[in-house]
Amino acid sequence: MKRLLPLLLIAASLPGCGLRPLYAGGSEGAVAQSLRDIEVAPIEGKGGWLVRNAINDRLAAVPSASPRYRLVVKLDDEITGFGVRSDDSITRERRTLRARYQLIEMGGDKVVLDATAGSDAGIDVTSSEYATIAAENTALERLAQTVADQIISRLALYATRSANGQ
């Protein structure tokens, strides 16, 4: 009981601190409605295809018939070798995926949000070329998911602020 009391006190004080759920109202809430009104423009390359699909998966199951916004994403995908053996062969790589994205109003082409997202992953380079390529592809898939999560979080924050008139 002594352990439970501090948790109850903390939980009771949360409403007074101004915190509100981001997705309040569920699928009918302001954030969900705003995210449903976004169309994602095609993104170049394999990484672009992965990021676009991940964003679309997170936006909504039922897209809007007439989207209010278009999301334009430009990716920078880079692999850098940084672990070197005595025979000058690379032992470790870093795959970096960076995205610059803009949320644009459909009618007037006004940019309402311009931000970046990114992540990186380490890759062990083995003697098997196949294994190294497979590791690079797996890293790209994970990075695409991470970048999409960052973009959606920022879009949801923008939707919350615009719904509250900030």
Tokens 């850098």 belong to 80
Name the pLDDT band for 147 (thresholds 50, 70, 90): very high
Strands 111-124 and 90-105: antiparallel
150 token code pair: 């960052």
* 16-63 pLDDT per residue, tens: 555 555 555 555 566 777 788 899 999 999 999 999 999 999 887 566
Say how far apart CA 68 and CA 10 lie, in whole Å. Answer: 40
112 token code pair: 């309402």
166 compared with 95, residue with greater pLDDT: 95
The predicted model scores a pTM of 0.81
Name the pLDDT band for 15 (thresholds 50, 70, 90): low
Classified as helix, coil or strand, 56 is: helix
**Residues facing residue 123 across a β-bridge:** 93
* 84-97 pLDDT per residue, tens: 888 888 889 999 99
138 compared with 10, residue with greater pLDDT: 138
**pLDDT at site 63:** 65
**pLDDT at site 112:** 93
pLDDT of residue 125 exceeding 80: yes
Query: What distances in angstroms separate CA 116 from CA 27, 40, 103, 151, one per listed residue?
Result: 26, 16, 11, 8
Say how far apart CA 104 and CA 96 lie, in whole Å. Answer: 26
* 49-58 pLDDT per residue, tens: 999 999 999 8
96 CB neighbour count, 10 Å cutoff: 15
107 compared with 1, residue with greater pLDDT: 107
Say how far apart CA 3 and CA 54 lie, in whole Å. Answer: 41
Name the pLDDT band for 104 (thresholds 50, 70, 90): very high
Question: Using an 8 Å Cβ cutoff, are 48 and 73 in contact?
Answer: yes
Say how far apart CA 166 and CA 158 lie, in whole Å. Answer: 9
